[in-house]
């Protein structure tokens, strides 16, 4: 799947960041916001308020997702960035516990605020007499994209150990993760495929490690071969055509192939993309500084705008609906960016604790925060599950900052390859 010829690492900016990676992450985020916005079908008919995925079972849209499903490339870029951050922290004397604590604080604190705000808003709707079924549907739609937060938090926290395995046996580590993902796909038990919420995305993060080290040559043959592999999975093995829903819930190895295709096309076009990254460095940096806030708040923005425009909203895929989409998409994007700008302070985090990080509390906080997001995905925002989930996210931050219990034998030495 990858070429591991030794190549020089991609050039980085003065700050140590690679402008191409920053561009990929920002563009991917904008695509995600616009996709979720265009998929939102909200209107009123004789049966009352309707909320659906506008492109559900739409074969033409399913084919387009082979290009628009950008999350595999986002996780690859995340692996690139995370490996850079971990090695910089390790070189400065940081430990795996320090890295895990920083990841939990960085991701869970803004999430706790966002989740708590949505829980309060849904509770207010209930008090105002909104039908319970509608409240739960709104909470479900807002919570759908949060799978990313749970997976990204887990994958990020594992970086010190996965990086160590990569440094010792890069191909073997990647091969084992790919093998695990394939094995999960082959087991026909109901629900078993959700184990690939770990393996598929960890494979993609690991590919980011190879990219960071300059080991990926952009080859058109590899990209086309990956797409051909997806075609075989769909046409012969019965995998879904849709990459946004069918192959993402649960994730399948088709997403790994899609990530490989996108990565090789990106590296192949590195010169063009790098020039664009430099040219648009300012807006890319602006979005990057607010990225998590954009992700957390874009669905609440979609819901609020849908409610405001409900009186004249058209049924999905009608002529009136299509005509209104450009204005709708611009409105969602602009309002989301304004909200993210106002809430950017949440991404700045809290002052670093004076005490050194301990691994046991750091891992406990990561598990607690991840569990909070999983609870949301299972139980939704409405009711007790939303309250408990917000508390778990906040509790995860508290544990990593205030925990004092250290389990030394669990923490590899800062410069260990294990």
Which is it for strands 40-45 and 48-53: parallel, antiparallel or unpaired? antiparallel
DSSP character at residue 347 = G
CB-based contact 392:344 (threshold 8 Å): no
Q: State the residue for tokens 């207010």.
A: 124
CB-based contact 19:80 (threshold 8 Å): no
Along the 418 residues of the chain, how does pLDDT read in single tens digits? 433 333 334 444 434 579 999 999 999 999 999 999 999 999 998 778 888 888 887 878 888 999 999 999 999 999 999 999 999 999 999 999 999 999 999 999 999 999 999 999 999 999 998 888 888 889 888 988 899 999 999 999 999 999 999 999 999 999 999 999 999 999 999 989 999 999 999 999 999 999 999 999 999 999 999 999 999 999 999 999 999 988 999 999 999 999 999 999 999 999 999 999 999 999 999 999 999 999 999 999 999 999 999 988 899 999 999 999 999 999 999 999 999 999 988 877 667 776 778 889 999 999 999 999 999 888 888 778 889 999 999 999 999 988 654 444 334 434 433 3
Give the CB-side neighbour count of residue 226, counting CA atoms within 13 A: 22
Segment holding 125, helix H or strand E:
helix 96-127
Within 8 A by CB and 6+ apart from 114, the residues are 296, 297, 300
Its pTM stands at: 0.89
> 42 pairs with which residues across the strands?
51
SS3 category, 245: coil
CB-based contact 240:249 (threshold 8 Å): no
Preceding amide of 250 cis, omega within 30: yes
Task: Extract the tokens encoding 69.
Answer: 């499903």
> What is the model's pLDDT at position 13?
42
Which residue, among 33, 36, 31, 28, has the nearest Cα to 81 in the 3D structure? 28
Within 8 A by CB and 6+ apart from 242, the residues are 61, 62, 65
> What is the model's pLDDT at position 382?
76
- Three-state SS for 394-405 is HHHHHHHHHCCC
> What is the model's pLDDT at position 383?
76
The domain ranges of the chain are 19-97+130-347
- Tell me the C-alpha distance between 68 and 162, whole Å: 28
CA dihedral 287, 88, 157, 197 (to 10 degrees): 60
- Tell me the C-alpha distance between 414 and 97, whole Å: 10
Within 8 A by CB and 6+ apart from 24, the residues are 73, 74, 77, 266
Which residue, among 2, 28, 38, has the nearest Cα to 322 in the 3D structure? 38
The stretches of 128-219 forming alpha helices (DSSP H) are 132-143, 147-157, 159-168, 170-186, 196-212
- Tell me the C-alpha distance between 173 and 2, whole Å: 13
Q: How many other CB atoms sit within 10 Å of the CB of residue 69? A: 24
- Tell me the C-alpha distance between 336 and 77, whole Å: 23
Q: How many other CB atoms sit within 10 Å of the CB of residue 318? A: 11
SS3 category, 296: helix
Q: In Å, what is the CA distance from 347 to each residue of 15, 21, 74, 239, 413?
A: 19, 19, 19, 38, 29
């Amino acid at each position: 799947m990858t070429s591991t010829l030794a190549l020089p690492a991609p050039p980085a900016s003065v700050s140590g960041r690679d402008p191409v990676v920053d561009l990929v992450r920002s563009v991917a985020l904008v695509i995600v916001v616009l996709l979720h916005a265009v998929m939102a079908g909200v209107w009123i008919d004789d049966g009352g308020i309707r909320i659906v995925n506008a492109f559900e079972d739409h074969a033409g849209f399913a084919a387009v997702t082979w290009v628009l499903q950008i999350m595999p490339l986002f996780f690859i870029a995340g692996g690139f960035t995370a490996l850079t951050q971990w090695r910089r922290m390790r070189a400065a004397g940081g430990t795996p516990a320090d890295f895990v604590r920083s990841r939990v604080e960085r991701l869970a604190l803004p999430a706790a605020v966002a989740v708590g705000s949505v829980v309060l808003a849904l509770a207010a709707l209930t008090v105002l007499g909104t039908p319970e079924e509608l409240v739960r549907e709104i909470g479900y739609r807002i919570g759908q994209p949060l799978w990313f937060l749970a997976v990204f938090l887990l994958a990020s926290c594992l970086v010190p150990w996965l990086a160590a395995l990569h440094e010792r046996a890069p191909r073997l580590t990647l091969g084992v993760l790919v093998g695990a993902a394939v094995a999960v796909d082959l087991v026909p038990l109901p629900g078993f495929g959700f184990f690939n919420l770990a393996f598929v995305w960890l494979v993609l993060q690991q590919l980011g490690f190879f990219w960071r080290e300059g080991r990926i040559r952009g080859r058109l043959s590899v990209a086309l071969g990956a797409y051909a592999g997806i075609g075989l999975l769909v046409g012969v093995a019965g995998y879904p055509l849709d990459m946004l829903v069918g192959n993402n819930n649960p994730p399948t190895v088709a997403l790994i192939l899609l990530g490989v295709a996108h990565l090789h096309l990106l590296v192949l076009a590195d010169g063009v993309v790098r020039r664009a990254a430099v040219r648009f460095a300012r807006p890319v940096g602006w979005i990057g500084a607010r990225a998590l806030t954009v992700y957390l708040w874009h669905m609440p923005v979609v819901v609020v705008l849908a409610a405001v425009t409900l009186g004249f909203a058209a049924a999905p895929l009608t002529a009136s609906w299509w005509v209104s989409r450009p204005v709708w998409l611009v409105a969602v994007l602009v309002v989301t960016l304004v909200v993210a700008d106002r809430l950017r302070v949440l991404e700045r985090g809290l002052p670093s604790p004076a005490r050194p990080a301990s691994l046991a509390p750091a891992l406990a906080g990561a598990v607690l925060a991840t569990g909070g997001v999983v609870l949301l995905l299972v139980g939704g925002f409405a009711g007790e599950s939303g309250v408990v989930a917000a508390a778990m996210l906040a509790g995860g931050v508290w544990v990593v900052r205030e925990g004092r219990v250290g389990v030394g034998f669990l923490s590899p030495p800062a410069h260990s390859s294990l």
